[in-house]
């Protein structure tokens, strides 16, 4: 991933559309945002979204923000607007078993790359949330908290989050004992209790220590660990963001 084009700067107070406006003024026409949902969940798929919003008023999505900051109804409204207004958009779903096979970081980067590749239009520039994504064949920038400061990344986060939430509601119907419709596969007290009572379901990610422990593949928590419980740590020791 590269830096911003030479001579281009974005003010911190430029607002959610500041990156796109600055790039458009610099002659960069098609700016894609890419983000994922479900990286920190210990059950269900990983989903990546990508979006190219049109310049000007046509690309302004009412109420758009980081998907994690929106209510479910607000996300659905933004999703409908993104799908209607975007010049191009895509969603990629990575099944739980592929996440296990690849490991979460590799699965995440591959999903983001695939989401950009599946856009109907080839972007001139790509903004990603936090992680640099190589192999895109186009310049771009990893933006810290990109889903809160760049509209196209926020749009991608909404596409990914809404798609994944819908999938987790479907999985709840197949595996009602785990209450996937409520916690969407993230580690909560209710989810932990269900894991302890029923063991892992067929859609749990076996790389995660809490899932392996519920399957009897890891030793029980020590007294010290009980005082400092882990939330979905994979064998590589990566601490995942709850709700990301």
- For residues 29 and 21, give the distance between their C-alpha atoms in angstroms, rounded to a whole number: 10
State whether 62 and 35 are in the same domain.
yes
The tens place of each residue's pLDDT in the chain, 244 residues long, gives 567 777 677 776 678 999 999 999 889 999 999 999 999 999 999 999 999 999 999 999 999 988 989 999 999 999 999 999 999 999 999 999 999 999 999 999 999 999 999 999 999 999 999 888 999 989 999 998 889 999 999 999 999 999 999 999 999 999 999 999 999 999 999 999 999 999 999 999 999 999 999 999 988 766 666 556 544 455 444 434 334 4
| Domain region containing 86 | 18-171
Asked whether the beta carbons of 133 and 34 are under 8 A apart, the reply is yes
- For residues 10 and 5, give the distance between their C-alpha atoms in angstroms, rounded to a whole number: 11
Element (H, E) at 128: strand 125-129
State whether 50 and 159 are in the same domain.
yes
Whether residue 6 lies inside any domain: the answer is no
Whether residue 238 lies inside any domain: the answer is no
Whether residue 232 lies inside any domain: the answer is no
Q: What is the pTM of this model?
A: 0.88
State whether 82 and 59 are in the same domain.
yes
Whether residue 31 lies inside any domain: the answer is yes
State whether 138 and 189 are in the same domain.
no
Cβ neighbors of 60 (< 8 A, separation 6 or more) are 17, 151
**Domain CATH for 141:** 3.30.420.10
Give me the long-range contacts of 8-16 (CB less than 8 A, separation at least 24).
16/64, 16/65, 16/148, 16/149, 16/150, 16/151, 16/154
State whether 163 and 193 are in the same domain.
no
Q: Is 8 helix (H, G, I), strand (E, B) or coil?
A: coil
Cβ burial of 32 (10 Å; 0-12, 13-18, 19+) is: buried
State whether 124 and 188 are in the same domain.
no
- Domains: count for the chain: 2
């Amino acid at each position: 991933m590269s830096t911003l084009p030479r001579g281009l700067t974005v003010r911190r107070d430029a607002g959610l559309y500041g990156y796109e406006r600055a790039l458009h003024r610099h002659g960069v026409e098609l700016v894609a945002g890419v983000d994922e949902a479900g990286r920190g969940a210990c059950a269900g798929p990983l989903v990546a979204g990508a979006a190219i919003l049109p310049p000007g008023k046509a690309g302004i999505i009412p109420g758009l923000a980081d998907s994690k900051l929106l209510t479910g109804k607000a996300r659905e409204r933004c999703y409908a607007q993104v799908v209607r207004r975007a010049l191009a958009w895509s969603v990629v779903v990575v099944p739980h078993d592929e996440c296990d096979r690849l490991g979460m970081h590799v699965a995440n980067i591959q999903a983001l790359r695939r989401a950009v590749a599946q856009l109907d239009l080839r972007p001139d520039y790509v903004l990603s949330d936090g992680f640099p994504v190589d192999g895109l064949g186009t310049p771009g920038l990893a933006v810290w908290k990109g889903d809160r400061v760049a509209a196209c990344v926020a749009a991608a986060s909404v596409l990914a989050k809404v798609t994944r939430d819908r999938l987790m509601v479907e999985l709840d119907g197949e595996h009602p004992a785990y209450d996937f419709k409520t916690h969407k596969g993230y580690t909560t007290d209710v989810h932990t209790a269900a894991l302890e009572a029923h063991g892992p379901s067929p859609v749990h990610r076996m790389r995660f220590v809490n899932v392996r422990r519920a399957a009897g593949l890891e030793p029980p928590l020590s007294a010290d660990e009980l005082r400092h419980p882990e939330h979905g740590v994979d064998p590589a020791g990566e601490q995942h963001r709850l709700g990301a």
